[in-house]
């Protein structure tokens, strides 16, 4: 019984680790912010900037 519980915990841990390994992605509205390049580009870089 103990072994079974330990085994289940292990499985649970593996599943959780896997879920959290998937990096969080933020969804940032582009709006009318200054931009360069095509809206169709496969990669969008949003940069938060401070000029000083």
Residues 29, 35: Cα–Cα separation, whole Å: 12
> First CA to last CA across the chain, in angstroms?
63
CA-wise closest residue to 33 among 44, 18, 23: 44
CB of 27 to another protein, least distance (A): 6
Q: Site mask, another protein, residues 13-52, x = CB under 8 A?
A: ----------xxxxxxxxxxxxxxxxx-xxxxxxxxxxxx
Query: How many residues at the interface with another protein, by CB under 8 A?
Result: 29
**Smaller CB distance to another protein: residue 17 or 38?**
38
Q: Which residues bind another protein (CB under 8 A)?
A: 23-39, 41-52
């Amino acid at each position: 019984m103990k072994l079974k519980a330990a085994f289940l915990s292990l499985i649970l841990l593996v599943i959780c680790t896997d879920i959290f390994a998937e990096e969080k992605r933020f969804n940032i509205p582009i709006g009318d912010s200054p931009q360069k390049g095509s809206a169709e580009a496969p990669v969008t870089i949003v940069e938060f900037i401070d000029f000083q």
